[in-house]
Structure 1
Amino acid sequence: MLFQLALFAIALLANTFSALAGGGAGLIQFPALIFLGLPFPVALATHKIASVALGLGATLRHGRDNRLTLGFAAFMLVFGVPGVLLGSRLAVVMPQRAGEIGLGLLTLGLGFYSLISPGLGQQFQPRHRGRAGMLVGGLGLFLIGVVNGGLASGTGLFVTLLLVRWFGFDYQRAVAYTLVMVGLFWNAVGALALGWMTEVQWHWLPALLAGSLLGGYLGAHLAIDRGNRLVKRAYEVVTIAVGVSLLVF
């Protein structure tokens, strides 16, 4: 019982911050699963399945605010899901440490870029909605999907900044799309693919799912209630922390 409570607390903390910042649940949850004794691929598959509950919890809260449009959500699925499937296939053969170092450097760059751009993501100013702009953005989503399928930490943060910087979303709206489309749908696809190719620690999942679901709802509520400025600050803290953790650990 104490072990299950510890798993619940880990998932609650990780997913509350992730839902507030638009990604980064793997900063706490995924390394904790490895520390508790799971091999990398088993920890990755277990984490992916638990992260689906993060997307569900956030969807329950963001769905009440009608921030998402069906067309753009479908666009994120069409370009992102094939990347997730490819990344999941590569996850069992790729050199993980090299990928983590590269991802850590890029994630640090995201955090510092947002930090030195005070007006970034504070207003909703749609852009790049023509055919060429959507194609470039879709390619970006596909590449992030590949990383999402193969690694556990921080890829939702890339989607959040892509939506803010390229498509002109404010942070609140970008986080809503990231949590619903990446947290729920991309992670569900990745979880199914990894679960098919490797083992899952099934008896840890009830506590992880419960913590992820509640954390996703709480983080989404804070993001909506406190506004873009808090979300931006949370994004910067989480991206820098994720980047450092990937490089150091």
Structure 2
Amino acid sequence: MEIKLIIILIIGIASGFIGAIAGAGGLISISFLLFLGIPPQITLATNKFGGMGLSIGALFKFIKEKKIIWRYAILLSFFGILGSLFGSYILINIDLAFLQKLIGILLIVLAPTIFFKRSFGLEEKQVSRQREIFGCLLYFFVAIIASFFGGLGFITISIVIFFFGLSIIRANATELFSYSIFSLSAVIIFALHGLIDYKIGIALFFGMLLGGYLGAHLAIKKGNQWVKLVFSVVIIIAAIKILLS
């Protein structure tokens, strides 16, 4: 069991590292937990608990470097919490296969903008109020699924870039704050329903804590161009995995 927890700790570091850079670390940790034979609902809830470590580690660095746009962070947190309340109910009561397909479709819709618009995520721009409102509504929808199905940060980051005009690093930092808030509300609900394996979750938490800090540090050091490259690669891998799973 000790060796198993050490491996989970290492997986947590890798997951947190990728998550802080490109927002898809949950795809690594969730896949590994399912490979260990942990039931899907327990896997998703435990991964969400571990993901709080990523949030703390990465946010510590992003706040220190002043990368968060607080006006958007608070706004998105509100819609994220609403989404997480619906999402927590879905995890407890509804099959997840259909929702996975919806995520795959959303990736296909977002992909052309990410890959073919060179300025995407590299420069900041002013956006209209109508665009921000639509972005909030779309963020709410994705937060419903992201509240339990980890590894979807690359989608929420894309929404923040496209609808709120932020660079990829600021979008990641700003969205991560919102993610942390609505994830906490989801974790509380999962805990009340006994869905979290705390022994595994604690190992995952500390791994993601370290990985999240290191990933945020490297992202800031390398800059938007490098982060976008990693982001693009992660999206390709994630789209294939989600659509084929």
TM-score relative to the length of structure 1: 0.92
- Distance in 2, matches of 1:40 and 1:218, equals 28
**2: CA distance between counterparts of 1:193 and 1:70?**
26
Aligned to 2:3: 2
The 5-angstrom pairing of residues 1-249 of structure 1 reads: 1-21=2-22, 23-128=23-128, 130=129, 132-154=130-152, 156-182=153-179, 184-249=180-245
How many angstroms does 1:79 deviate by?
1.5
Aligned-partner SS, 2:147? helix
| Residue segments in structure 2 that go unaligned for 5+ positions in a row | none
Q: Is the 1:58–1:217 contact (alpha carbons within 8 Å) kept by the matching residues of 2? A: yes
Amino acid across the alignment from 2:237: A
What percentage of aligned pairs have identical amino acids? Answer: 26
Give the direction of change, closer, same or farther, for the CA distance of 1:32–1:112 in structure 2 (3 Å limit). farther
In 1, Cα distance between equivalents of 2:210 and 2:148: 26
Q: Deviations over 1:26-67 (max 9, x none)?
A: 211012111112111111110000001101111110011112
Indicate conservation of the 8 Å contact 2:80/2:178, yes or no: no
Residues 121-144 of structure 1 deviation map (CA, whole Å, 9 limit, x = unaligned) = 11111312x3x3332222122111
CA shift, 1:112, in A, is 4.8
Runs of 4+ in 1 over 6 A off after TM superposition: none
Please, which runs of 5 or more residues in structure 1 have no aligned partner? none
Q: 1: distance between equivalents of 2:144 and 2:228? A: 25
Give the distance between the partners of 2:73 and 2:175, measured in 1 at CA: 10
Check conservation: 2:113, 2:120, Cα contact below 8 A: no
RMSD of aligned C-alpha atoms? 1.6
Q: Paired residues, what number? A: 244
